[in-house]
Amino acid sequence: MATNKNSAMDTLYHRLARRIGVSIPPLGLVILAALAAWMLFTFLHPVPPRTVTMAVYPEGSVNAELAKRYQEILARDGVDLRLAPSAGAVGSVARLRDPKSGISIAIIPGGITTEQESPELVSLGTLFYQPLWIFSRVRLLERHQQLRGLRISIGLEGSSSHALSLKLLARVGIIDQKSATLLLLTPSESAEKLTHGEIDVAVFVDAWESPVVQQLLKTKDVKLESIPRADAFVALYPYLNKLVLPAGVVDMAKPRPPTDVLLIAPKASLVVRKDLHPAIQYLLLGAADEIHSAPGIFRTADQFPAPESIDLPLSPYARNFYKSGPPFLQRHLPFGLAVLVAEVLVLLIPLVAVLYPLSRFAPTVYDWLEKRRIYRLYSELKRLEDEMLSTPPSGIRNDFIERLDRLKDRASHLSVPTPFRPLVYSLRLHIDMVRQEAQKLVSP
């Protein structure tokens, strides 16, 4: 009974050994495939969204007009750019930072946020100058006078006009917050009330192309004020630039303005969340190049968009775009597929670098594993031989011979590739040699 039980266990062992030996390669492929799939869906974004949302400022600002152009360009590739109303840059940054808001894109002037305040955001580059305009009903700022006791529109709370007016003009004493009446009006409301004399001053942060700016530049009895100490502003606030609006640029016959006007201007950046799909970032960069590369009053041809990091770091995709243009694959494949293929290739390069030397080392590992199966039986044989040599002749019994026979049976059933069969035959021969020696010592 004991012999039959041991034989059954031995046969089971052989079957398991053979099955494990055959199953290792498929198991390795399954694990490798699962690992590749996990890496693909963990580190890549296989499917770009078809709907994204951009914060847009009130009507009357150039931001509202630009957002519509971005919307039209992205629609060519089947991406629906939805426009979400915002009071202005400060409000847009707050919503961009909130992952639950659904806002992924906004145009933000410099001086509104920083990398430390908004680590979730990156820039796709600067787009245009966005000057600080001060329009008045009377000549107010000659001889560096303060705006005392006047009705001044500084934009809605949450807008860049409101934030920069208080940060720059109020801080240096141009606006007297104690005596002046500060009004929170939209650009359109400010222009209308200033035109009709209902307010004294309107402050905007907007581009030259802004409909409201163009309207007020041509409005009778409304004057554009020159910024006093513009160089000092630029020196104190690195995100600012000094611009000169030439005399007569609005109307050379009158002329309007009658003299050069000094302005201070942050640059507007196209800001996105870091987790915005790369394909959408590339589409936005292409749209920015189409919209902002033309020359203008304050810019030369192809000056914008520019790879400048004002307040926020550049997106790595923007850095690649400015360095080498649109990806090769994006020019020949649908935009989502192009970016996915590019990311897979980037992922495969280090993967191949790891797998290639492993493939060179794999035969050695395979040889070692196969030989190890044989050498384990050799180890058992060595223990039996040591036991035989350390046992007095009278102590050797028939059960010792049976143990050698079972070991030989296991060796005979050991399934190994052809190159390793000589080792098995050698093992069986050595078992026979030990058995012959043990047979001589078995007591009659």
DSSP track, 103-153: --EEEEETTS--TTT-TTEEEEEEEEE--EEEEESS---GGG--B-S-EEE
Question: DSSP string of 236-252?
Answer: H-TTEEEEEE-TTSSBT
Model confidence at 100, pLDDT cuts 50, 70, 90, reads very high
How far is it, in rounded angstroms, from Cα 270 to Cα 124? 5
The pTM (predicted TM-score) of the whole model is 0.68
Question: CA quadruple 238, 126, 169, 137: dihedral positive or negative?
Answer: positive
Share of the chain above pLDDT 90, in %: 46
Confidence of residue 347 (pLDDT cuts 50, 70, 90): low
Alpha carbon of 206 to those of 13, 152, 187, 248: distances in Å? 81, 17, 10, 20
Q: Answer yes or no: is pLDDT of 385 > 80.
A: yes
Number of alpha carbons in the 13 Å side-chain half-sphere of residue 331: 6
What mean pLDDT comes out for the span 180-192? 90
Mean pLDDT of 409-418: 86
Over range 94-117, report the average pLDDT. 95
Of 127 and 31, the structure prediction assigns the larger pLDDT to 127
pLDDT above 60: residue 279: yes
User: Does the pLDDT value for residue 229 go beyond 80?
Assistant: yes
Whether the predicted pLDDT of 225 surpasses 80:
yes
Any idea which of 83-92, 101-110, 113-122, 382-391 has the lowest mean pLDDT?
382-391
In Å, what is the CA distance from 66 to each residue of 162, 251, 299?
Answer: 21, 25, 17
- Identity of the highest mean pLDDT range in 327-341, 391-405, 415-429: 415-429
**Residue with more model confidence, 425 or 84:** 84
pLDDT score for 166: 87
Q: What pLDDT digit, counting tens, does each position of 2-59 carry?
A: 444 444 444 444 443 444 444 444 445 445 555 655 555 555 555 678 899 999 987 7
Instruction: Provide mean pLDDT across the span 323-328.
Output: 82
pLDDT of residue 418: 85
DSSP-assigned letters across all residues of 420-442: GHHHHHHHHHHHHHHHHHHHHHS
pLDDT score at 52: 97
Identify the band that residue 61 occupies on the pLDDT scale cut at 50, 70 and 90.
confident
**Cβ-count burial 224-261 (b if 16+ within 10 Å, e if not):** bbbbeebeebeeebebbbebebeeebeeeeeebbeeeb
Residue 153 scores a pLDDT above 90: yes
pLDDT by residue (tens digit) across 363-377?
787 788 888 888 888
